[in-house]
A and B are shown apart, each in its own frame.
Chain A
């Protein structure tokens, strides 16, 4: 939980001061490299952090100033509804963050910083932490 929160705060700061979207790759990847205990936990922290942040900010946009633009973009993409655009935004963010974090975890394993991918049982206990 605390991992997710840390990633969210880092992402929020970097997204605010710069315009690069790929922080949702870099931050989960690096964070998981040092902190993830299993692929499952890595994917979860990456996808939840990026997904929650993009959902929160996207929702804020949609409910405040971005109503018109979201409606036009929905029409442009043939989706018809701005809420579907928000959903896609969140899915893109979550999947990207998740994959990036998993990569970070496997990178750590590859460099021998982490043990081999744990057994199913250990992975379950990891997930609880």
Chain B
């Protein structure tokens, strides 16, 4: 009896221990997590208190860190190794969990942390070959002494910080998911660089375009998805003459390379995510007589923010800007002499090749007149709480066959049974470009630094303090036949392979143009006159055209003017389309509510401002118009086709009063443009009433759309939700629901550069600190901070409240 009681209580206590010590489903281990001494309660404001001194064995000389009032560290070191070591240490202090988690994500290892739920996510990353590409990148980084020294010093800095951790001081997310940080490695840094390539260059419409062409035929395809879109305003201004001829053209294939794709399943297109801008004006347009550079890359917005701000001062460099936690140096920024910023280039860096396997064993595939062997890569995916999953990837000389037709796993962008040829798989060392750009003393040195940058293709805008400006569409670009890569290619035909690389000197670029500025906004880099074909997936004209219009009229410009331009929310698209479509609405056929909406739009000056209702009306109406014109053409019983872009819709409406596209083929009546404009207007008003209730403040753009900065691992409660932002994807301030300006920077060059900057987040990755989202409200309001570019650690400044001394070995 007495033993029985002991047994019952003993078992209960053991069960309590097990239940509270382990993560169960989505619930953190409650005993550890709730312990008020070392659980989540310890991830409070005090966790961000800065140490006055840090002792580390690895440093050869003491390093001084000045912290400014926004927790930006200004690091002063006597040699480069100590500098990057300290950058690694400080970055880990602020963002360890984020960089570690992002490296897990790129490697396809999230299931080790989360469990089965993310298995498909992981498998896709591995099938695409991101970890394999990172392995090659790591080799390149270690092969070059400059990048090797930086990467190794940075890595040991991160690891020196990891050594200081105990459970109490672990970042919150480790406690939620119940795991410990891994040692940092150069491979993890390489993974992060490759995940940028994935984010920025993996988008590719060729699968859906192939199917669309099959159903609609060539001529209709070229009307609905033209290679060169209407209203094009390219990065290299039209009329620029090219002083070279196209080299190395040998293929005779006529570029018809489509294949049956009826098995592909496409979903309705997502709302567009796009938006980076950069520009530089020369001294003739600025007040100081020297160039100003502006850069605002747009990305998916998360907390912690993708960027971390820093100033690095060493024996041969002094650079300020932002970097991705995990990468040494600065990615977007400026030094004493040069400023730079990127936008995504968008040129086609990826093709799919339909593979003809010899038999169902898939050990050989057809190429030219022979059979080549398929290599199998066996991948083991560890999954938390269950047995590891074995996955087999088939490799061809093009690259991996990402999906087989028999796979349950799908991605509408990736055609099953096709091999992926992607530039990110090739050896390259982009890091070298950034490290040299960080040190560049003039435009020539900066341009030379870019020669090592292959992927993802970027428009680099540059300016220097000698008064020069330039923009380069920079990267490794395959030589293609006109239109090659618009559709799926035949992997058995050697003529469909790429014809080498466009020489660096032939890349689209402009230096010190007569118009006194350079700019880009993800649009076509060049027009038809450029001797090479680059791709067809660029952004529409509207943002770029707005930037160019404003800059053409700019003079006596100062930094604040450029910031005002970055938050400009006027839509050239709305300005072009609205007068026409409003004039075609028969007002007498509108209800009271509809008339009110109509009048709101009549008064509107095409600004997407948070406190206005007109932007909500406009945006909802545009979606309805696009549906009314195109849905009956593209929504087929066996799947959806490529939706024509908004520039094509605009061109159709402005140039053709009657067109067969206007008729809704599913109704007996023959609709005209007037009919569908009226119908779509009424339906937009009706939908808004359904979504937001009666006409009123909840229809305002800021509330109706809203922008969310979700947590990186989608943990509820750790983000900022429904921020009332202005701007739209077709304005310079290209804001969307969870996508937008991830960094706004303006640099006025001079004897000392003067800069403004802001990103939506905060320097600390600790959700329990005010520094986690300290910049968000100012970002929403379109404000930016004066960046402190320091030249010496001895400086006294009211905005430098704190100093940390990093001590080396005594």
Contacts and interface: CB of A to CB of B under 8 A. Distances in A.
B36 A103 contact: no
A14 to B, nearest CB: 9
Given A75-B716, A106-B5, A21 B10 contact: no
Given A103-B13, A106-B10, 6 more contacts: A21-B38, A66-B41, A66-B44, A68-B767, A106-B5, A116-B2
Contacts of B30: 88, 92
Q: Which 4 A-B pairs have the closest CB atoms?
A: A69-B768, A75-B717, A19-B167, A65-B44
A30 interface: no
B703 to A, nearest CB: 20
A66 B2 CA distance: 45
Contacts of B38: 15, 19, 21
Contact of B17 (A15, A22, A74, A75): A22
A19 B37 contact: yes
Interface in A71-105: 72-78, 85, 88-89, 92-93, 95-96, 99-100, 102-103
A87 to B, nearest CB: 11
29 contacts: A15-B35, A19-B35, A19-B37, A19-B167, A21-B34, A21-B35, A22-B21, A25-B16, A57-B37, A61-B36, A65-B44, A66-B41, A66-B44, A66-B45, A68-B769, A69-B43, A70-B41, A72-B768, A73-B40, A76-B718, A85-B34, A92-B20, A92-B30, A92-B31, A92-B34, A100-B13, A103-B6, A106-B6, A106-B9
Nearest to A62: B41
A28 to B, nearest CB: 10
A65 B43 CA distance: 9
Interface string B762-796: 00000111101000000000000000000000000
B166 A19 contact: yes
A109 interface: yes
Interface in B14-59: 16-17, 20-21, 30-32, 34-41, 43-46
A72 B718 contact: yes
Nearest to A61: B41
Contacts of A54: 34-36
A96 B2 contact: no
Interface of A: 15-16, 19, 21-22, 24-25, 29, 39, 54, 57-58, 60-62, 64-70, 72-78, 85, 88-89, 92-93, 95-96, 99-100, 102-103, 106-107, 109-110, 116-117
A93 B12 CA distance: 15
A127 B233 CA distance: 87
B587 to A, nearest CB: 47
Interface residues of B, number: 43
A3 B609 CA distance: 65
A69 B172 contact: yes
Interface of B: 1-3, 5-6, 8-10, 12-13, 16-17, 20-21, 30-32, 34-41, 43-46, 166-168, 172, 176, 715-718, 767-770, 772
A103 B2 CA distance: 12
Contacts of B2: 106, 109-110, 116-117
B31 A22 contact: yes
A74 B715 CA distance: 12
- Mostly, the A contact residues are helix
B21 to A, nearest CB: 7
Given A68-B45, A76-B715, A99 B16 contact: yes
Contacts of A29: 13
Nearest to B27: A77
Contact of A102 (B9, B44, B172, B772): B9
Of B6, B36, B43, chain A has the most CB atoms within 10 Å of the CB of B36
Nearest to B41: A61
A54 B36 CA distance: 6
Nearest to B773: A68
B168 A110 contact: no
Contacts of A21: 20-21, 31-32, 34-35, 38-39
Contacts of A68: 44-45, 767-770, 772
Contacts of A93: 34
Contacts of A24: 31
A16 B168 CA distance: 10
A89 B35 CA distance: 7
B10 A107 contact: yes
Contacts of A99: 9, 12-13, 16
Contacts of A69: 40-41, 43-44, 172, 767-768
A68 B717 CA distance: 11
Nearest to B49: A65
B5 A109 contact: yes
Nearest to A60: B36
Nearest to A12: B37
A109 B39 CA distance: 34
B767 to A, nearest CB: 5
B36 A89 contact: yes
A46 to B, nearest CB: 10
A70 B45 CA distance: 11
Contact of A25 (B3, B13, B40): B13
Contacts of A100: 13, 16
Nearest to A59: B36
Contacts of A88: 30, 34
A6 B281 CA distance: 73
A102 B6 CA distance: 9
A116 B6 CA distance: 11
Given A65-B44, A69-B44, A95 B770 contact: no
Contacts of B167: 19
Contacts of B6: 103, 106-107, 109-110
